[in-house]
Structure 1
Amino acid sequence: MSATIHRIGARPEPSLEPMIKMVAADMNLVNSVILDRMQSDVPLIPELAGHLIAGGGKRMRPMLTLASAKLLDYSGNRHHKLAAVVEFIHTATLLHDDVVDGSDLRRGKRTANIIWGNPASVLVGDFLFSRSFELMVEDGSLKVLKILSNASAVIAEGEVNQLTSVRRLDLTEERYLDIIGAKTAALFAAACRIAAVVAERSETEEMALDAYGRNLGIAFQLIDDAIDYASDAATMGKDAGDDFREGKMTLPVILAYARSEGEDRHFWREAIAGRKITDADFAHAIELVRSTRALDDTLARARHFGQRAIDALGIFPAGDARDAMVQAVEFAVARAY
């Protein structure tokens, strides 16, 4: 692999716009596939699925499939259906996640489970998973099927792993990174890697794109977890403090608890046990996360993984596609600043 191609943070105002513009025409075709394949004779299915799919997200994961294809100068059209697969897998997991977490808001809108109820959300999530596998089979590549189906299984494992670690003060940073590597980064990695498969590129290029996506996914989740202790609902599109009130052991909490003693350590025990969940308690948690530098160190780790993602692109030729993918990493990390 070549030397570092760009230092993260060197660009003053990174933007996702170069990637959005680069893949705009392809994304229109992906959206057509999504709209077509989420249809059903059962009206509730497209209604509920459409609520989340049209919910204002940036479609980061399918964009990564399209951007990776651009990076490789792929001139076919298989990546359109596969990018739709990636979005369906992501949407299905969001529907299931909101039921598990009991979430009220996503991207500033009421969640599907609040509007239609938990059973409908779970079942429509299952429908979208099924549609994604139909599209994979239509593509006809056993390798693509293996990569995406494995990612689906790993995501589910990560979610179960996280579920069993809620309110567990003994959760280590290592296990936490395993959890987010599975529940978030696995789909980022697969989304990028499949572009190399359809473009019939080498194993080296395939695994470089996998590394790019995986490290970007970890950085992305670390920033999400940091923002919960650094922002408000208007910025986040969800209620600030959701993770805190749900007793989720994210990295800011793991580090803050490890660095606390006496009354502060007692506070974390009470809070994670669910006995301190008021706004004042959350404000105190933010204060502790900041004073122990747990927030700063979480952001530093995000920058580390972001740099690893950027470095993974070093084997590819310089150009607009590579620069857009580098900026996407910088943008993901800069969200917390």
Structure 2
Amino acid sequence: MPNTPQSPPHRIAVLALDGVYPFELGIPRRVFASAGDRYELATCTVDGRPVRSDADFTIAVEHGPELLRTADTVVVPPFDLALATDRPAPGVAEALALIRPGTRLISICTGAFVLAAAGLLDGRPATTHWALADHFRRLFPRVLLDPDVLFVDDGDILTSAGAASGVDLCLHVLRRDHGTAVANHAARLCVVPPWRDGGQAQYIEHPVPAAGASGTAATRDWALARLHLPLTLAELAGHAAMSTRTFARRFHDETGQSPGRWLTQQRVALARQLLEATDLTVDQIAGRVGFANAVSLRQHLHAAIGVSPLAYRRTFTGKAFAGTA
């Protein structure tokens, strides 16, 4: 075949801000550099000066904001949340103004706060780390935040949750740019899974409300010790010495959920613990947590976090055991 002129590399500028997280700062280079010479990566700051990291060292870079003028993609890694406000920090707005229209923007974790503060996410879907969702919503009510997913691809602006999802998003972009084979090769070089769907749920902690003087706390504790049983609303209300209507209303007031939804959430949480910490089969775990069978457990776990029991176990233990997937 005759030789064809090679396309120029796609230029990626990584904008390091004060308080940057060192690990996440390195994610774009680690992923995109694994694709050979398809990308040209460089790091800059808003004034060309070194920035302090959130660790005990400072990071020096070779470029200032002028790098943003010619970038095809700009990545904003996360930074110390204590520095995040509803308006861009000094110099940040001026730096972002240098970005050409149509340039692709990517944020990792708290990097979404920077894009939102600049008004770039108003009216658009986005995500960030689940633990920061309430704070994000207070600062940026016009953003269509979805804290339950790993990343959001909204065309020219892409946002991701925590550190590992930053890798997922960069691999997603690589796959979008150059196809599955190139992305899979990069994933193998990085020794990470080649694909996790952006719509997969973040692994969010859902702590049980602390027991106290509230009317249903004792019944919640009682139910947690009996998750293996087919508990009914009438049984829960009877334990609390309330009518079913009163119990359901008070339970929702105290937990923000219906008793049935809360029970399912606790059963899924216990199943996750057993998948991580025991060698029990999926069928055995289903019985331990009160689901009718392994199929029911699989359905509820997939609805909660988007993966099967065996996929979840492999993620957290590196191995799988016999039982229904």
Common fold: TM-score over 0.5: no
Select the structure of larger CA radius of gyration: 2
Structure with the higher strand share, 1 or 2 = 2
Higher relative contact order (CA 8 A, sep 6+): 1
